[in-house]
């Protein structure tokens, strides 16, 4: 079977962990034409005219989330550290 091209493709799944209205209705991932990977969050909304639509945002998978308060880890100096400072 030939390898499937995954560029410019993504998937969304129902967010089974949704607890608040602000949490996304769907979550998933997407790979752009350059091979960069993104997390996708999507919400089902209703316009003022009553039409249902989906809004979404993306975040690069390379962007590591900042540690929460109290979760900062102290880096230990490596024994082989050649840096003079």
Residue ranges of domains in the chain: 9-60
What's the pLDDT at 5?
Answer: 81
Q: Residue 15: pLDDT band by 50, 70, 90 thresholds?
A: very high
The residue ranking higher by pLDDT, 64 or 57, is 57
Mean pLDDT computed over 42-49:
96
Burial class (CB in 10 A: 0-12, 13-18, 19+), 74: exposed
Percent above pLDDT 90 for the chain = 65
> Residue 81 and residue 24: Cα distance in Å, rounded?
44
Give the global pTM: 0.67
The residue ranking higher by pLDDT, 76 or 59, is 59
pLDDT surpasses 60 at 83:
no
Mean pLDDT computed over 59-77:
64
């Amino acid at each position: 079977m030939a390898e499937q091209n995954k560029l410019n493709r993504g998937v969304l799944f129902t967010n089974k962990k949704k607890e608040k209205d602000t949490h996304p209705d769907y979550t998933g991932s997407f790979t752009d034409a350059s091979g960069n990977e993104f997390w996708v969050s999507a919400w089902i909304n209703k316009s003022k005219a009553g039409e249902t639509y989906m809004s979404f945002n993306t975040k690069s998978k390379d962007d590591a989330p900042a540690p929460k308060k109290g979760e900062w880890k102290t880096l230990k100096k490596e024994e082989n550290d050649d840096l003079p400072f």
